[in-house]
Structure 1
Amino acid sequence: MKSNKGFTLIEVLIAAIILFSALALISDIFKSAMLSSNKTVASAKYNQVTPSAITAIKTNLRTAVKAKNITAVEGNVILFDIDYQWQANRIVFNSQPVGEFDDFAQRNRFSIYKVDVTAKFDNRERQFSFEVATW
C-alpha cells in the first residue's frame, strides 16, 4: 500500500481562497478606518481653527469699515490650508442714543454687519454666519 504524504491540489486551492479572502477583508477594514480617521482629523482641524478665523474676519471687517460709510465688504482668510471666504452686509446703521436733554443730533457711526462665511477644506465646504458690531 502506498502512503500519501502532503496535500492534494484541491486542499491547497481551498486554503488559498480562505487566506486571500481574509486578507481582502482585512485590507478593506483598514482602508475604511484610514478614510474615517482622515475625515475626523480634517473635521477636528476645522473646529480648532474656525474661532481664530472668525477673530481675523472681525478684525479685517472693522479695519475696512472704520469711519467709512460702507454697506458691503468681502474678503478671505487662509489659516492652516482652510480658505475662509466671507462677505459682510450692513443690516443696522445708527447713531449713539440721544438723551432727553441732548439738543444736537449725533451722526450715524455704529453698524451691525451680517457676515456669511464659506470654509473650503479637503474638497468640502461648510457655511456659517455671524454678526459683528463696528464703530
Structure 2
Amino acid sequence: MKANKGFTLIEVLIAAVILFSSLAITAQLYSASSLSADKAASAAQYYQQSELVITTIKSQLRERFKRNNNTELKGEIEAAGQMYSWQAIKTADIAPPMGIDDTVPLEPRFARFLVTVELINKGKSFQFETVAW
C-alpha cells in the first residue's frame, strides 16, 4: 500500500468554507463597528454644538426681548456648518423678589421662555427654558 501524502478534495473544500465564513463574519463585524462609530461621532458633535447654539440663542433672545418685549421670537443660527432654527414662546412674566422695605409687589421685568430648536434638514430638535430681561 502507498502512503497518503496530501489532502483530499473534500478536506480542502471544508477548510475553504471555514476560512471564507470566518472572513465574511470578520468583515461584517468591522462594517457594523464602523457604522456605530460614525453614529457615535455624529451624536457627540450634535451635543457639543448644542451648547454653543443654546448660548447664542440666549444672547439673541435677551437682546430682542429688551428691544421690543415680544411674546414670541424666532431666528436662525449657523454653527459648524449646520443651520438651526429656533422659536421662543413666553410662558410667564416674573417679578423680582420683594425687598425688606417693599410693601407693594414689584412689576414683572423678567420673562421665562420655552425655546424649541430644530436642526434644519436633519429632523433633530430639542427644547430648553431660559429667562430674559
TM range (shorter): 0.7 to 0.9
Q: Cα distance, 1:28 vs. partner? A: 0.8
- What is the aligned-residue identity percentage? 38
CA change 1:124–1:7 in 2 (3 A) is farther
Farther-moved stretch of structure 1 (27-36 vs 91-100): 91-100
Give the total of aligned pairs. 130
Give the CA deviation at 1:119.
Answer: 3.6
CA distance in 2, matches of 1:73, 1:37: 37
Return the alpha-carbon distance in structure 2 between the equivalents of residues 113 and 21 of structure 1. Answer: 58
The AA in structure 1 aligned to 2:127 is S
Structure 1 position 100 matched with structure 2 position 98: no
Give the direction of change, closer, same or farther, for the CA distance of 1:101–1:26 in structure 2 (3 Å limit).
closer
CA–CA distance in 2 between the matches of 1:24 and 1:97? 68
Listed as ranges, the gaps of 5+ residues in structure 2 are none
- Measured in 1, the distance between the counterparts of 2:29 and 2:109 equals 60
SS of residue paired to 1:75: strand
Q: Deviations over 1:18-69 (max 9, x none)?
A: 1110000000111111111112112222222221111011112122222213
Match of 1:39 in 2: 39
Cα contact 1:46–1:82 (8 A) shared by 2? no
- 1:93–1:111 CA contact under 8 A, matched in 2: yes
Find the counterpart in structure 1 of residue 111 from structure 2: 111
The RMSD of aligned alpha carbons is: 3.0
**Which residue is 2:57 aligned to?**
57
Rate the CA distance shift 1:27–1:101 in 2: closer, same or farther, 3 A: closer
Q: Distance in 2 between matches of 1:111 and 1:33?
A: 47
* Displacement after TM superposition at 1:88 (Å): 0.2
Secondary structure in structure 2 of the residue aligned to 1:91: strand
C-alpha distance in 2, partners of 1:33/1:73? 42
TM-score of the aligned structures, taking structure 1 as reference length: 0.75
* Aligned-partner SS, 2:67: coil
1:55-101 Cα deviation digits (max 9, x unpaired): 01111212222221311111222322444322100122356678337
